[in-house]
Amino acid sequence: MAGAMDAPAGTAEGSRPLRIAVIGAGIAGLSAAKRLKERGLWRGLASDVQVTLLEARDRLGGRIRTEVFGDGAAVDLGAAWVHGASKQNPLLQMSKACGGKLVKTDWDNCILFEATGTTSESPEAKRLDEAELEEVEELHTHLMKLFQAKQSADRKAAKKGEGEDQSLMTSLRGLSSKRFKGMDHLDQRKRLLLLSQIAAETDQDYAATANELSSTWWDEDDEFPGDHCLWKDGYVSLINYLAQGLDVRLGTPVVKIDFSVPSHLTLHLSGGEQIDADYCICTLPLGVLKHHHESLFHPSLPDQNVDALRRLGVAAMEKVALRFEESFWEQMAPNVHCIYRMPTQEARRAPTALEASFCVSLKHVTGSNVLVVYYVTDTARHMATLEEEKLVPSTLALLQSMFPDMPEPLEVKRTTWDQDPFTCGAYSFNAVSCSSQHRLHLRSPVGLEGCPKRVHFAGEATSDRFPSTVHGAYLEGRRAAQEVADTARHEAQKRCGRKHIGYAFEEGILLE
């Protein structure tokens, strides 16, 4: 890829290929590269298109990471679910092509435990009372109705530039009605149950607390209809399918993206090597961009992109996967999907108490006796700093409070996404004063004034419709590939002085 800038690239007459670098081989980078290699995208435009993926790690997939236990069972330590497995979801279509089996999960099939209780009690005695849960469920539904009315008014005001955003929790605490005096008027137990119910939506889905999430723009994202499914053999089959035929350089961290000259851009690699390209698609995770954008880009990113980086929040989620000799939790409820223990008041105040938000059984997915314990928000941030010798006993103590007679695990696997220099967190969320509009700002391409925009962006955080998901990142990769092709086409038209150059915008549809 490196070399002198001899002749203009990108026209059928051009004497050298159009060079495109994709930074990051997660799902967004792989989907961008795959799309860039589709001939239909370039028909009549470029003589040849050279696409190179530069990946810092020694593996593909980024926040998709499948590991295999000793008994052959796969466990996804990063993304696990395909959310909304319907025909609109491109992942469902690809699951067929890559031969991956999707298994439906049922979130209603769960066991709920009290926060407290001594290990001498029988596990059954500590399961939450159904009648009490129903009462809190009703309270929750009522509170959410009040909230939705407020949120819709707040969104209208925000679009007119009026009003000020606040945290979701501040909003919820301020709500009251004839039948509901307000959250702070509930007795301590009901309030804790209600807070747990809220946490089930915020902490679990967004890996961020109601104190961190924007009230006005919470839940702004879109979703595909359909079931939530797990991959029987892990997400890795999708990654391997997408990577076929791509030119990927592993173990190649990019340390600088220099777009300071009009003719091309230069990528500086950590070993000192430099690579020239005509365009690049940067799929670095939000956490990495937040920490390193000042040293990464030359010249600096425009204010609009930096403002978006500052506003968007980075959520925290860590997993501890444990394989046992037997699935002891199934004695309580066969084929159970999720086990949830209410957090104690203490854990809410002191995240270092290591309360998991929920555990997921993989028994019905892989057939193996695997439980995955999920930690989120500050607890996850703390947990990512712990050595395994401390983390595992704490995790086992938590499980023992629900299953006193449980055996020791045979194998344990854990994550440290929050400490990982190539991720710096789990995924993005709309923090206070942040909306999907800022995701559009984050992804707006950059370049020198009066020159083609050479640096384009993709990834879960740039998706305005499906942020924080695999399908969102996948679609963003394709969008950015299209954006690069559009820019290259525009440039080629300018150079050739021609109005039309044969060009395909979307698969199979030739616009000319």
Cβ proximity to ligand FAD: between 175 and 243 the closer is: 243
CB of 81 to ligand FAD, least distance (A): 4
- Other Cβ atoms within 10 Å of 498 Cβ, number: 10
Residue count of the chain: 512
Cβ proximity to ligand FAD: between 403 and 422 the closer is: 422
The tokens describing 111, both together, are: 């066991």
Q: 3-state class of 479 per DSSP?
A: helix
Cβ proximity to ligand FAD: between 409 and 459 the closer is: 459
Measured between alpha carbons, how far is 392 from 167 in angstroms, rounded to an integer?
Answer: 33
Write the CA distances from 106 to 111, 361, 370, integer angstroms: 12, 11, 17
Q: Are strands 18-23 and 279-282 parallel, antiparallel or unpaired?
A: parallel
Phi first, then psi: give them for residue 94, nearest 5 degrees. -75, -25
Torsion 142-147-148-149 (CA) sign: positive
Measured between alpha carbons, how far is 358 from 375 in angstroms, rounded to an integer?
Answer: 7
Q: Does 24 bind ligand FAD (CB under 6 A)?
A: yes
Q: Does 409 bind ligand FAD (CB under 6 A)?
A: no
Question: Among residues 21, 22, 27, 312, which is the contact residue for ligand FAD, using CB under 6 A?
Answer: 27
Cβ proximity to ligand FAD: between 253 and 404 the closer is: 253
Measured between alpha carbons, how far is 176 from 189 in angstroms, rounded to an integer?
Answer: 19
Cβ proximity to ligand FAD: between 81 and 113 the closer is: 81
Question: Among residues 66, 151, 283, 357, which is the contact residue for ligand FAD, using CB under 6 A?
Answer: 283
Q: Does 309 bind ligand FAD (CB under 6 A)?
A: no
Question: Among residues 9, 36, 45, 56, which is the contact residue for ligand FAD, using CB under 6 A?
Answer: 56
* Amino acid at residue number 273: E
Q: 3-state class of 426 per DSSP?
A: coil
Q: Give the x/- contact pattern for ligand FAD in 248-267, rule: CB under 6 A.
A: -----xx-------------
Measured between alpha carbons, how far is 86 from 88 in angstroms, rounded to an integer?
Answer: 5
Restricted to residues 312-351, the positions that interact with ligand FAD (CB under 6 A) are 317, 319
Q: 3-state class of 262 per DSSP?
A: coil
**Candidate ranges 33-41, 210-218, 358-366, 464-472; the one touching ligand FAD (CB under 6 A):** 464-472
Cβ proximity to ligand FAD: between 206 and 217 the closer is: 206
| Conformational region of residue 245, where left means phi above 0, alpha means psi within -120 to 50, and beta covers everything else | left
Size of the site for ligand FAD (CB under 6 A): 38
Q: Does 480 bind ligand FAD (CB under 6 A)?
A: no
CB of 443 to ligand FAD, least distance (A): 11
Angle at 376 between CA 218 and CA 402, to 5 degrees: 125
HEC readout, 142-167 = HHHHHHHHHHHHHHHHHHCCCCCCCE
Cβ proximity to ligand FAD: between 18 and 207 the closer is: 207
**Candidate ranges 121-129, 242-250, 463-471, 487-495; the one touching ligand FAD (CB under 6 A):** 463-471
CB of 477 to ligand FAD, least distance (A): 7
Question: Among residues 34, 63, 290, 413, which is the contact residue for ligand FAD, using CB under 6 A?
Answer: 63
**Candidate ranges 18-26, 101-109, 110-118, 125-133; the one touching ligand FAD (CB under 6 A):** 18-26
Q: Are strands 254-258 and 265-269 parallel, antiparallel or unpaired?
A: antiparallel
Q: Give the x/- contact pattern for ligand FAD in 412-441, rule: CB under 6 A.
A: -----x----xx--xx--------------
Cβ proximity to ligand FAD: between 10 and 26 the closer is: 26
Q: Does 44 bind ligand FAD (CB under 6 A)?
A: no
* Amino acid at residue number 284: L
8 Å CB contact between 201 and 251: no
Q: What is the largest CA-CA distance in the chain?
A: 83
Restricted to residues 64-123, the positions that interact with ligand FAD (CB under 6 A) are 64, 78-81, 83
Cβ proximity to ligand FAD: between 44 and 253 the closer is: 253
Question: Among residues 18, 20, 21, 25, which is the contact residue for ligand FAD, using CB under 6 A?
Answer: 25
Q: Are strands 338-341 and 358-361 parallel, antiparallel or unpaired?
A: antiparallel
The tokens describing 490, both together, are: 């525009």
Q: Does 54 bind ligand FAD (CB under 6 A)?
A: yes
8 Å CB contact between 31 and 37: no
CB of 206 to ligand FAD, least distance (A): 11
Cβ proximity to ligand FAD: between 14 and 29 the closer is: 29
Measured between alpha carbons, how far is 479 from 103 in angstroms, rounded to an integer?
Answer: 29
Residues that bind ligand FAD (CB under 6 A): 23-29, 54-57, 62-64, 78-81, 83, 253-254, 283-285, 288, 317, 319, 417, 422-423, 426-427, 459-460, 468-470, 473
